Structure 1
Amino acid sequence: MFVGICSVDIHIPWARSLKDKRQELKGIIDKLKNRFNVSVAEVAAQDFWQHAVLGISTVSASADLTRQTLQKAVDYIEENANVEVVDFNIEVL
């Protein structure tokens, strides 16, 4: 069994309030959960309007599949959300 964890540092340039930020993140989180069957939560920078850190995790029988799932989730955020991915880190344990 392999556990994958990923932290994604996000910049939301258009957000002018915490409400804007939370609205955008809710959409991202719901889509990631449904599309990739991963667990997702905002894990840092909760009080900043334009900055967020998402934690994503998954479990699989294969290290490669675990890494691919997390990479696809990050790619999805970069391609389909109205945010900028500043940095991300993937670890497979």
Structure 2
Amino acid sequence: MILVADVECLIYGAQSLKQKRSVLKSIITKIQNDYNIAISEMDYQDLWQRTKLSLVTISCNKVQSERVVNQALSLIDSYPEIERTTTKYEWL
């Protein structure tokens, strides 16, 4: 089962693209190191305080895929610099 989660977020404290990239790099590196997930910024690369991330995982069953993605989303939520606004799931 392939699960894709598209996540839109706001980064309130970012006053430059450099600050935004610093926050995102920290989150992306942590998720890639801790979970079996591919993650990338997919939209709003030129905006300071907004981003869209896509997370993708592949597993042999649906429950495992959902659990891993939800753990990664909880990690994103644990960062005080970023707020997750919308999340859309898609099964492939």
TM-score normalised over the length of structure 2: 0.94
| Cα distance, 1:88–1:78 mapped onto 2, change above 3 Å | same
Secondary structure in 1 matching 2:20: helix
1:59 equivalenced with 2:47 (yes/no): no
1:26 equivalenced with 2:35 (yes/no): no
| Paired position in structure 1 for 2:77 | 78
The number of aligned residues is 92
Q: Report the RMSD for the aligned CA atoms in angstroms.
A: 1.0
Identity %: 30
Match of 1:64, as an amino acid? V
Unaligned runs of 5+ in 2: none
Secondary structure in 2 matching 1:37: coil
1:4 equivalenced with 2:3 (yes/no): yes
| Paired position in structure 2 for 1:47 | 46
| Paired position in structure 2 for 1:14 | 13
1:4-51 deviation digits (Å, cap 9, x = unpaired): 101111100000000000111000000001111210100001110000
Point out the more displaced range, 16-25 or 81-90. Answer: 81-90
Unaligned runs of 5+ in 1: none
Point out the more displaced range, 15-24 or 62-71. Answer: 62-71
TM-score normalised over the length of structure 1: 0.93
